[in-house]
Amino acid sequence: MKITSVLKISPTAKRSQTSPVIGVPRALSYFEYLPLWRAFFEALGCRVVISPETNKKILDDGVQAAVEEACLPVKLYYGHVKALSGKVDYVFVPRLISVAKKTYVCPKFMGVPDMVRTAAHFDRHYPELLIVDVNHRLRGGGWNQALVNAGTQLGFAPAVIRRGLQAGRQAQDDFEVQLHTGINPAMALADWEKRGRAIKRTGPKAGKDQAAAAPGGLVIAVIGHPYQIFDRFVSLNLLGKLQAEGVRVITASAVADQVGREATSHLPKRLFWSFGQKLLGGSLHLLEQPIDGLIYVAAFGCGPDSMVGEIVERHAKRADQVPFLMLTIDEHTGEAGVNTRLEAFLDLITRKKHESSIKKTRIAIKGYRG
Amino acid sequence: MGVRSVFYLGVDVGSVSTNLVLVDQLGNVEETIYLRTQGRPLAVIQTGLKELAKRYPDEAIGGVGTTGSARTLGAVILGADVVKNEITTHAVAAEQIVPGVRTILEIGGQDSKLILLKNGVVTDFAMNTVCAAGTGSFLDQQAARLQIPITKFGSLAAEARHAVRIAGRCSVFAESDMIHKQQTGHTLPDIIAGLCEALVRNYLNNLGKGKQLVPPIVFQGGVAANVGMCRAFEKALGQAIIVPEHHMVMGAVGAAILAGEAVKQKGGASNFKGLAMAEQPLVAGSKECKDCPNLCEVIEICEAGQPIARWGDRCGKWESSVAAGKQDWPDLKPQTAVR
């Protein structure tokens, strides 16, 4: 039996001696929940293997296997699952249905496990999957229950699973607290990518990152799904390019959910996509902060992005013209197009900032009309 | 032209045309050279330099700026003082020639832009996405299909009495729509005028979505030469459109002005390699780097056999290898060598 599901798997007998190796695809919700997963599985005694950073092969594998209408991040997920083939016993593929009260996650997240299973049906190079549902809408159906199910499927004793849960929760809480200090999320995540057992990042280092904001440098909010903006391949290294220009980047990850909710409380209707709410709340909150510009990174074909991006743009324009740039990214996005827009956007901000001084030095104006 | 006058050279290496201009200290355009890129940017830049060398000595050029999609390539071989994106250069040039400009419509060979300004500063911009419908290339293609010189395309449209309605959303569909209209007996001027209106509609829907286009409005880029397109814009916007004299080369004008600013800021010294670059044997080659699964296509530019720049690698190791003095290029057999 190649494909495992909640109902079919019975690894208890199979793996009584050694704990299984768990694969984690470096895609989609990975960028939000890695600490939770990694600390949980490692507390159970499992080894955790993460798929490599997105590269051309992963992209090609994903695009080839995925359904046509999926967005690029979902297509990449296939590639990341496949990249773990032969390296792990199971790939952890949670089915995210609802991760917070009264919200849903994008329907494609719900379909991901089944989409990948279908692909695996046609391609024997896919690893076995460990699928659990995450559904806050059911009583006790959140992450805790999902991980308990995962642990149970792997044949661990309830007491061991409880300890694992504690470790996972602790790790995730630490991670989120760290994010809210404004630390670069990629750096916070890097600790968890390197080693599982929480290495507590101490104050000074986090402080150093903050200090990287050169006085007088630009501060730009980059808003987009973490799986877009923190994936260097997909985002064409957008964050790296901004940092190379001396820009300090703030993302919606730095905005606590409560703060985001307050920023959107005046809207006529609540957004029911939890990730969309995170981006909208983050944007509206950051627009009230002293930022020089806002870049919205949308995934081509993403329904929530097409709406959230539009709302953010309108608010950016209302909030006394915070310069706004929308970058829509898919697998065909050329680096030249992104570079041109980015350079022009930075020019726009810089020139706007130094408007008066430039006017003085601008060479005398003389011209004609045709 | 006195020997003592100093000009700034602006070079806009676009997908379809390569333009070289000289502007004087005051930002007045002294010289313009408009060339077709024809897929050979290196050779075309050299052709342009040869033209300049006939009339100007090296000392006449006090600084160089490059722009356009091949701006990096141009910068490497010229020794540019400034490398700027097309949006900024177009805005700088328009503000110079039409002070107080608020809206810039720019349609070039393969892309189109909309730039909004206030007080001489860009406040918003939009560029067309992957699709090239409505850009100069499509007009070129249709002119070729109808065997009308592109230069006459616009004046034909101006003869139209009743512009037909053509779907401009996609160039493939626009073409079949045009053929349909021609087969049912509409006159050529009416069809061409209809095409212009369709392209303008497409442009305004794509780029102008949600933006307020405030006069003065300047229309520049190669397509601004097309009277039919100007009329269509005026009709759609209900405003007069200003087409600057040097509308074809505005990107290069902006690059030249910015080069002047950059050189002054640096204290007067330019990196310009000299007009003799026109005679240097320049070779560009590429290889697929197989060091990781990304399989980047790395480009190398060689001047007289010596690599002067490499790029195209995501990790940057080839790019920095030239500066670091590592001239080796393991297993490089240029897959393609273009001059």
Q: Write out pLDDT tens, residues A18-47.
A: 789 999 999 999 999 999 999 999 999 999
The answer to whether residues B130 and B234 belong to one domain is yes
Answer whether B27 sits within 8 Å of A366, measured CB to CB.
yes
Provide the domain limits for residue B81: 7-90+251-278
> pLDDT tier at B130 (50, 70, 90 boundaries)?
low
Q: Are A308 and A279 in contact (CB under 8 A)?
A: yes
How long, in residues, is chain A?
Answer: 370
For B226, residues 6+ apart whose C-beta sits below 8 A from its C-beta are B139, B153, B154, B157, B196
pLDDT at site B4: 59
Per-chain mean pLDDT for chain B: 84
- Residue B234: what residue type? E
| Boundary residue ending a domain (B229, B263, B278) | B278
A122-126, B133-137, B265-269: range with lowest mean pLDDT: B133-137
- β B17-23/B82-83 pair status: unpaired
Give the Cα separation of A247 and B295 in Å (integer): 29
The domain boundary residue, chosen from B190, B222, B243:
B243
Q: How far apart are CA A160 and CA A45, in angstroms?
A: 9
Beta strands at B7-13 and B17-23: parallel, antiparallel or unpaired: antiparallel
Say yes or no: B245 contacts chain A, CB-CB below 8 A: yes
More confident residue, B217 or B312: B217
Six-digit token string for B195: 């095409």
**Interchain CB contact of B125 with A (< 8 Å):** yes
Within a domain: B255: yes
C-alpha–C-alpha distance, residues A250 and A220, integer Å: 6
Interface contact A367-B96, CB threshold 8 A: yes
Task: Write the burial class of residue A32 (CB in 10 Å: 0-12 exposed, 13-18 middle, 19+ buried).
Answer: buried
Cβ neighbour number for residue B158 with a 10 Å cutoff? 15
Rounded percentage of chain B residues whose pLDDT exceeds 90: 23
φ, ψ for residue B108, nearest 5 deg: -115, -160
Same domain, B172 and B117: yes
Are the C-beta atoms of residues B46 and B278 closer than 8 Å to each other?
Answer: yes
pTM, two decimal places: 0.82
Minimal C-alpha gap between B198 and chain A (Å): 25
Alpha-carbon gap, residue A327 to A299, rounded angstroms: 8
Residue A216 pLDDT: 65
End-to-end CA distance of chain B: 33
Contacts of A114 (CB under 8 A, 6+ apart): none
The answer to whether residue B191 sits within a structural domain is yes
B148 burial via Cβ count (<10 Å: 0-12, 13-18, 19+): middle
Tell me: do B201 and B122 sit in the same domain: yes
Q: Which pLDDT does position B327 carry in this prediction?
A: 61
* Gap from B187 CA to chain A (nearest CA, Å): 30
Whether residues B311 and B184 fall in one domain? no
DSSP A38-83: HHHHHHTT-EEEEPPPP-HHHHHHHHHHS-TTS-HHHHHHHHHHHH
Task: Look at B245 and A370 and tell me if their CB atoms are within 8 Å.
Answer: yes
Does A237 touch chain B if contact means CB atoms closer than 8 Å?
yes
What's the confidence (pLDDT) of residue A170?
93
Q: Secondary structure of A151-219 in the HEC alphabet?
A: HHHCCCCHHHHHHHHHHHHHHHHHHHHHHHCCCCHHHHHHHHHHCCCCCCCCHHHHHHHHHCCCCCCCE
With cut-offs at 50, 70 and 90, classify the pLDDT of residue B132.
low
- How many CB atoms are closer than 10 A to CB B77? 24
Pick the closest to residue B25 from B264, B227, B237, B185 (CA basis): B264
Chain A CB within 8 Å of residue B112 CB: no
CA distance B75 to B277: 12
Domain assignment of residue B138, yes or no: yes
- Position B65 pLDDT exceeds 90: yes
Determine how many CB atoms are found less than 10 A away from the CB of residue B304.
9
| Tally of domains within chain B | 3
Please report whether residue B1 resides in a domain. no
At B330, the pLDDT band (50, 70, 90 cuts) reads low
Q: In terms of C-beta density within 10 A (0-12 exposed, 13-18 middle, 19 or more buried), how is residue A357 classed?
A: exposed
Count CA atoms within 13 Å of residue B78 on its CB side: 37
Q: Do B225 and B109 sit in the same domain of this protein?
A: yes
Question: pLDDT value at position A311?
Answer: 92
User: Are A74 and A114 in contact, with CB atoms under 8 Å apart?
Assistant: no
Q: Cis ω on the peptide bond leading into residue B216 (within 30° of 0)?
A: yes
B306 is a domain residue: yes
- B225 Cβ neighbours under 8 A, 6+ residues apart: B151, B154, B247, B248
Which of B69, B247, B292 faces A55 most closely, judged by CB atoms?
B292
Compute the distance between CA of residue A103 and CA of residue A74 in angstroms, rounded to an integer.
20
Residues B76, B203 within the same domain: no
CB nearest to B122's CB, from A233, A237, A348: A348
For B81, the 3-state DSSP assignment is coil
What would the pLDDT profile of A300-358 be if each residue is shown by its tens digit? 888 888 899 999 998 988 866 788 998 888 877 677 788 888 999 998 888 877 764 44
- Specify the pairing of strand A129-135 against strand A90-98: parallel
From chain A, the residues in CB contact with B314 under 8 A are 233, 237
Q: How many CB atoms lie within 10 A of CB B2?
A: 5
If you measure CA to CA, which chain A residue comes closest to B264?
Answer: A361
Distance CA A239, CA A327 (A): 13
Q: How far apart are CA A297 and CA A325, in angstroms?
A: 8
Spans of chain A below 50 pLDDT: 1-16, 198-212, 356-370
Q: Is the ipTM of this complex over 0.85?
A: no
Question: pLDDT value at position A23?
Answer: 95
Same domain, B259 and B296: no
Q: Kindly state whether B320 is in contact with chain A, defined as any CB-CB distance less than 8 angstroms.
A: no
* B254 closest CA partner among B61, B67, B46, B49: B67
Please give the Cα distance from B138 to B192 (Å, whole number).
Answer: 12
Residue B57, SS3?
Answer: coil
Q: Which of B66, B67, B87, B230 to mutate to test the interface with A (most CBs of A within 10 A)?
A: B87
B149 & B239 share domain? yes
- Tell me which residues of chain B, numbers 51 to 110, contact chain A at a CB-CB cutoff of 8 Å: 69, 84-88, 96-99
pLDDT at position A186: 83
Give the domain-ending residue among B243, B267, B293: B243
| Contact list, B292 vs chain A (CB under 8 Å) | 55
Q: Are residues B166 and B85 in the same domain?
A: no
CATH number (domain holding residue B16): 3.30.420.40
- Highest mean pLDDT of the ranges A182-196, A325-339, B196-210, B242-256: B242-256
Statement to judge: residues B86 and B206 lie in one domain: no
Instruction: Yes or no: say if B237 and B217 are a contact pair by the CB < 8 Å rule.
Output: yes
**pLDDT, tens digit, 9 for 90 and up, residues B153-165:** 888 888 888 888 8
Q: Check if the beta carbon of residue B197 is closer than 8 Å to that of residue B163.
A: yes
Q: Which of B257, B316, B275, B285 is nearest to B54 (CA)?
A: B275
The chain B residue lying nearest A52, using CA atoms, is B293
Question: How do A90-98 and A21-24 pair as beta strands?
Answer: parallel
The shortest CB-CB distance from B85 to any of A332, A340, A365 is to A340
In the predicted structure, residue B183 carries a pLDDT above the cut 60: yes
* Cβ contact B293–A328 (<8 Å): no
Whole-number pLDDT of residue A238: 92
- Average pLDDT of chain A to the nearest whole number: 83
Has residue B2 been placed in a domain?
no
Residues B232 and B317 in one domain: no
**B284 strand-pairing partners:** B301, B338
Contact B200, B165 (CB under 8 A): no
Residue B129 identity (one-letter amino acid): T
The DSSP code for A253 is G
Q: Are residue B255 and residue B290 in the same domain, yes or no?
A: no
Mean pLDDT of B178-199: 86
Q: Name the nearest CA neighbour of B67 among A336, A353, A348, A240.
A: A336
